[in-house]
Amino acid sequence: MVSAVWDLPVGRGKYFGTNMNRVLDGAVGGWSVDAITTMQKGNPFTVTAPNHVAWPADQIRADRYCNGRSELKNKNLRTNGLYWIETGPVSAVNSSCFVDPATDPHNTSGTPWSFGTSGFDILTGPGLNNWDMGVHKTFPIHDAMNFVIRGEFFNAWNHAQFANPDSGVTDATFGQVHATQHAPRQIQIGATLSF
């Protein structure tokens, strides 16, 4: 996370326009901008399979043969049908990267009732790339009295922040993202009087 505040150096007593008349200063002076940028890695998730064993847990882990993310040819969610991991057969392993242990053709245990070979939280979902920005205009009234108008933009670029994909290996939408983890752009306007 990075944050910054910049008082623009324009207006009376500033670097540019230090002797500016009050009317012009009221229009171009007293501006400041701020930004908070958050860029972080996505949340981990586990690829699960239906429970076919006597274990009381609701779901168990899938069998794993490859990474799933590395094998995805088009990694752009916006153009690949919202797929985060490869769900189809991969030629290197002649199988899908993740398979239900009960139907896994490579299962050598002799029983379909196994717990799966995949680890816990082995993959990471889409990350966060968010910009919150603000613009502020200060109007000096008298001595230490100021009137400030501000506009604040949360998720300023209206960039979609995707949540983790469907991680159930037998689900029809396995590997696809169906939700976002951040709100769309929000704008608020406010004013304060300080004295």
pLDDT tens-digit series, residues 65-98: 898 888 989 999 989 999 999 988 887 767 788 9
Residue 145 and residue 102 share a domain: no
Residue 56 and residue 91 share a domain: yes
- Expressed as residue numbers, the domain containing 57 is 43-126+162-179
Residue 141 and residue 86 share a domain: no
Residue 93 and residue 107 share a domain: yes
> Measured between alpha carbons, how far is residue 29 from residues 180, 186, 192, 193 in Å?
39, 26, 17, 18
Is 132 domain-assigned? yes
> Measured between alpha carbons, how far is residue 195 from residues 11, 25, 141, 147, 182 in Å?
21, 20, 9, 9, 37
Distance, in Å, from the CA atom of 191 to the CA atom of 178, rounded to the nearest integer, reads: 38
pLDDT at position 111 over 70: no
Q: How far is CA 95 from the centre of its chain?
A: 31
Model's pTM, two decimal places? 0.73
Distance, in Å, from the CA atom of 2 to the CA atom of 131, rounded to the nearest integer, reads: 10
Residue 29 and residue 53 share a domain: no
Is 191 domain-assigned? no
Residue 82 and residue 20 share a domain: no
103 vs 47, more confident: 47
DSSP label of 190: E
Is 10 domain-assigned? yes
Distance, in Å, from the CA atom of 134 to the CA atom of 96, rounded to the nearest integer, reads: 47
pLDDT tens-digit series, residues 14-39: 888 788 887 887 788 889 999 999 99
Q: Count of domains in the chain?
A: 2
pLDDT tens-digit series, residues 127-167: 999 999 999 998 888 888 989 999 999 999 998 899 999 99
Nearby residues of 34 by Cβ (< 8 Å), 6 or more positions away: 3, 4, 5, 6, 133, 134, 136
Nearby residues of 24 by Cβ (< 8 Å), 6 or more positions away: 17
Beta strands in the chain (DSSP E): 2-7, 31-40, 44-45, 48-50, 59-61, 63-64, 89-90, 95-96, 98-99, 123-124, 128-142, 145-154, 186-194
